[in-house]
Amino acid sequence: MAESSRQRSPAPVKRPNFLVIVADDLGFSDLGAFGGEIHTPHLDSLAYAGLRFTDFHTAPACSPTRSMLLTGTDHHIAGIGTMLEIAPEFRDAPGYEGYLNERVVTVTELLRDAGYLTLMSGKWHLGMSRETSPWARGFKRSFALLPGAANHYGTAPLVKMRSTRPIYIEDSSFAENLPDSFYSSDYFTDKLIGYLEQRTDDLPFFAYLPFTAPHWPLQAPEDLIAKYRGRYDAGPEALRQERLRRMQSLGLCPSTVSAHPVLAETKEWDDLSPEERRISARSMEVYAAMVDRMDWNIGRVVHYLRKTGELDDTVTVFMSDNGAEGAIVEAFPLLGPRIAEFVRTQCDNSLENIGRSNSFVWYGPRWAQAATAPSRLYKAFTTEGGIRVVAFITYPGFRRQQKISSCFTTVMDLTPTFLDLAGIQHPGTSYGGHDVARMRGRSMAAYLRSDAATIHPADQSTGWELFGHRGIRQGDWKAVFILPPQGPGRWQLYNLANDLGETNDLAAATPDKLSDLLRLWETYVEQTGVLLVPPAK
């Protein structure tokens, strides 16, 4: 038969690479492309080229979000029902193991099985042992910080404040020593680029780069701190108003938005002494420097992929793991007193030393709410300020690019999206000889290709819970329960379509709608195994 008349097999579709970048405690408006003043040219370029989300949601804190990102299901199912360093009384309850349990399969396990090279460098926070490390959950190569935070300079004493055992691991071997030049954002990036450079096979890759910046302790190179000297001397409220105006001009929030009032137990800017204002502003300068340095490192990865001709074949996702960190760290239950004593006896938090390896500062609730505005509160809360985060997806293969999306989506949607784009089926309820949970997220692929107008159907509901704070959303309606002192300790109701700041409680005015949502909340609790009180011992 002549070649022209022979039936030909279709050419195999090239599977995309994936680059997933997670910032730690980054605020919604910190990046220039999202309204901020911090110098972030590399992230801004990616964001403007891609699809910026204004309604992308995570869990209220870091490890729950990471479990959802890697599994496509709720963190109460995946083993991170709470953060045991904050609430150890929940330990060993089903779904509260403190590590990714065997009830879930990770996206990296499935991609690895399908021929992807799976790489990671950065923060893990999903298990402290070799058996619960990235090496055990589908990553071919990995360098990971196992706990939730550490000194960004690595070799300074603060790195072992919370642990006497090694807290970094490369593949299956604990890293006992770090180089003297270690700085978290630089080293994580070095490692990831090194893994990419060491490839010998022409395999598509999944590269996961979860930074620890800008999580406290706030530390950054001195030249970058100097770059922001004086930028924040007007205080957090002035920054909040400046960013709100910028977000409105960019089309990221309505010009008519009512921002939620700042909620903070710390003193107002005008009530601080001149020295207190200088120290607070310096902390924000260091924070900005950390974000600046993270952006520079992301630029290095982008440059590498552009040089190798792989950037246009790579789906790039960038997100924060939760809202900005507004906690007064020394007030944390259990952990706080230890931090306070450590800071008092071993750290130098003088104005001239803030940001160096032997300092330990955080920036508190007022600077955090400059970044979460117009939303209510910040990290740890199920209000929008805790769970609505900066996020974008960039890939030339999508039609829906160079746009802003107000479509509701969640971090659980990422794993089904990656699997969909790679042509891989989730195994459903069985993997590796044991039962696993189905994904609760939905693929964004059709939406990104402009083949669908939404990601989630209007009648679908999404729930949140952490530390007793609760939330349930269906469409634009959201019920939220925030414990005192930051909330009233009862259910409140908001219509986010015209109240992004959660300022107008409609619970009394529309009790039937609240009842509908509370029935959905009970279903969420039943399906995910949420515990509001510790299990009986």
pLDDT tens digits, one per residue of 53-95: 999 999 999 999 999 999 999 999 999 999 998 899 999 899 9
Q: What is the mean pLDDT of residues 327-338?
A: 76
The answer to whether position 231 is within a domain reads yes
Checking if the pLDDT of 12 tops 50, the result is no
The pLDDT value recorded for residue 165 is: 65
Measured CA to CA, the distance from residue 97 to residue 385 in angstroms comes to 27
The answer to whether position 425 is within a domain reads yes
Measured CA to CA, the distance from residue 308 to residue 43 in angstroms comes to 19
Of 1-15, 106-120, 159-173, 413-427, give the lowest mean pLDDT range: 1-15
Structural domain for 239, as ranges: 17-456
The answer to whether position 528 is within a domain reads no
- SS3 assignment for 130-179: HHHCHHHHCCCEEEEECCCCCCCCCCCHHHHCCCCCCCEEECCEECCCCC
The answer to whether position 471 is within a domain reads no
CATH of the domain at 376: 3.40.720.10
Task: Give the residue numbers marked as catalytic.
Answer: 62, 125
Residues 184-215 have pLDDT tens digits of 999 999 999 999 999 999 999 999 999 999 99
Residues 50-63 have pLDDT tens digits of 999 999 999 999 99
Checking if the pLDDT of 401 tops 60, the result is yes
Measured CA to CA, the distance from residue 6 to residue 434 in angstroms comes to 45
The answer to whether position 516 is within a domain reads no
Q: What's the length of the chain?
A: 537
> What pLDDT band is residue 5 in, cutting at 50, 70 and 90?
very low
**What is the tally of structural domains in the chain?**
1
The answer to whether position 475 is within a domain reads no
The answer to whether position 73 is within a domain reads yes
Q: What share of residues in the chain are helix, strand, coil (percent, to 5)? A: 35, 15, 50
Specify the pairing of strand 477-481 against strand 17-23.
unpaired
The answer to whether position 524 is within a domain reads no
